């Protein structure tokens, strides 16, 4: 019930912001006595779309700029599914990678963690600051006498508000969460640090064991705490420790409705993997497999998705050929993995299942 109230609240806030923006735009047009033709309206609509895309680019660049000013180092920069990854040899690699629910992302390696001194506010709020600065410059240069300028300023205002006001899984919420306790600040640092190490080529079993010791949910359980639980799940999978994986998945399953939407889908996918190995007769499997959001997510060209499909086809459907085809296809996606570490972990699982199938069907 609480989650539904939050979801409805987020929708109402978004609608309210859209209404305010529409009213503000109409007011400016009326105040300047603009007599708009059909062509003018089309240009304005096109300018809104283009401006929004520009503000996404500016927003993520803002994270990078202000993060750099506070000691962070660039790891990856993504706009829609176009991602540039900074490599350890100094080069920059281009990849295609999509994260449902996000239009862009700038990930950076954090400075050394010091209790009570971890800098996170400027990095997290750097995006909205960049949007504000860009909109302010356009306002100073053109005012509200240009439809294109009005479109840019309005979309800038919308981007600032939807990212700064703590809603769901945005910058404002991340700042609010990290500010709530030292434990949450450490978990935020942990996410940045793990992503950086995975990008350098460390797989989950090569990460410090301290990273997998669950941090107390103080003052409450947040998506940062949930992230650490997914971290443990990834390690158990790479270790081929199916008993521990099943135990961790069942623990997470009990709180499925409390997870943010992105995590819910990932939890369902990994539950398919765990149940297929540990209990292929489980009654939850058919429902999980037919889940529309799960199937949509599995269509992304990622090794992990093909690993989950192969496991389901082999252990549940007893379809050896399709399982092997999935594993073969999965290996072809190795260069599309979000990081070198993820690729290493998924190759381990791919090889394990491939050998498992051959061992049982070449006798």
Condensed to tens digits (0 to 9), the pLDDT of residues 37-84 reads: 788 889 999 999 999 999 999 999 999 999 999 999 999 999 999 999
Prior bond of 204 cis (ω within 30°)? no
The overall pTM is greater than 0.85: yes
Average pLDDT, the chain: 91
Strand partners, 78: 83, 105
Vertex 89 angle, CA 60 and 98, to 5°: 35
Return contacts of 288-292, CB within 8 angstroms, 24+ apart: 289/316
Neighbours of 224 (CB within 10 A): 21
pLDDT beyond 60 at 213: yes
pLDDT at 169: 87
Round to whole Å and give the CA distance between 360 and 362. Answer: 6
pLDDT at 142: 92
Retrieve residue 168's tokens: 């769901």
Retrieve residue 315's tokens: 């252990």
pLDDT beyond 90 at 19: no
pLDDT beyond 50 at 202: yes
pLDDT at 190: 98
Complete DSSP assignment for 344-361:
HHHHHHHHHHHHHHHHHH
Complete DSSP assignment for 312-343:
HHHHTS--HHHHHHHHHHHHTTGGGSSSHHHH
pLDDT beyond 90 at 22: no
pLDDT beyond 70 at 309: yes
Taking residues 95-115, report their average pLDDT: 90
pLDDT band at 132 (very low <50, low <70, confident <90, very high): very high
Place of tokens 């603009």: 34
pLDDT band at 34 (very low <50, low <70, confident <90, very high): low
| Of 13-22, 202-211, 347-356, the least confident | 13-22
> Considering the chain, what percentage of its residues have pLDDT values greater than 90?
80
Strand partners, 74: 108
């Amino acid at each position: 019930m609480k989650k539904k109230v939050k979801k409805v609240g987020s929708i109402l806030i978004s609608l309210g912001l859209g209404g305010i923006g529409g009213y503000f735009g109409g007011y400016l047009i009326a105040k300047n006595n603009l007599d708009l033709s059909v062509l003018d309206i089309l240009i304005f609509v096109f300018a809104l779309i283009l401006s929004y895309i520009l503000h996404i680019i500016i927003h993520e660049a803002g994270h990078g700029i202000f993060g750099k000013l506070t000691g962070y180092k660039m790891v990856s920069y993504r706009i829609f599914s176009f991602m540039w990854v900074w490599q350890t040899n100094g080069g920059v690699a281009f990849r295609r990678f999509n994260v449902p629910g996000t239009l862009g992302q700038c990930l950076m390696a954090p400075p050394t963690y010091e209790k009570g001194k971890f800098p996170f506010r400027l990095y997290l709020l750097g995006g909205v600051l960049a949007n504000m600065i860009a909109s302010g410059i356009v306002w100073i240069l053109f005012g509200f006498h240009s439809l294109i300028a009005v479109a840019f300023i309005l979309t800038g205002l919308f981007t600032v508000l939807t990212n700064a006001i703590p809603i769901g899984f945005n910058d404002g919420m991340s700042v609010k969460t990290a500010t709530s306790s030292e434990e949450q600040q450490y978990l935020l640092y942990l996410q940045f640090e793990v992503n950086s190490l995975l990008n350098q080529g460390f797989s989950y079993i090569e990460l410090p064991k301290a990273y997998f010791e669950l941090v107390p949910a103080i003052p409450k359980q947040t998506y940062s705490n949930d992230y650490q639980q997914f971290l443990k799940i990834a390690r158990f999978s790479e270790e081929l420790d199916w008993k521990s994986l099943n135990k961790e998945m069942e623990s997470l399953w009990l709180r499925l409705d409390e997870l943010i939407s992105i995590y819910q889908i990932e939890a369902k996918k990994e539950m398919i993997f765990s149940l297929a190995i540990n209990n292929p007769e489980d009654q939850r499997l058919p429902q999980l497999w037919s889940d529309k959001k799960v199937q949509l997510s599995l269509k992304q060209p990622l090794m992990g998705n093909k690993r989950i499909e192969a496991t389901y086809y082999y252990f549940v459907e007893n379809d050896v050929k399709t399982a092997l085809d999935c594993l073969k296809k999965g290996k072809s996606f190795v260069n599309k993995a979000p990081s070198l570490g993820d690729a290493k972990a998924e190759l381990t699982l791919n090889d394990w299942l491939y050998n498992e199938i051959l061992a049982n069907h070449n006798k």
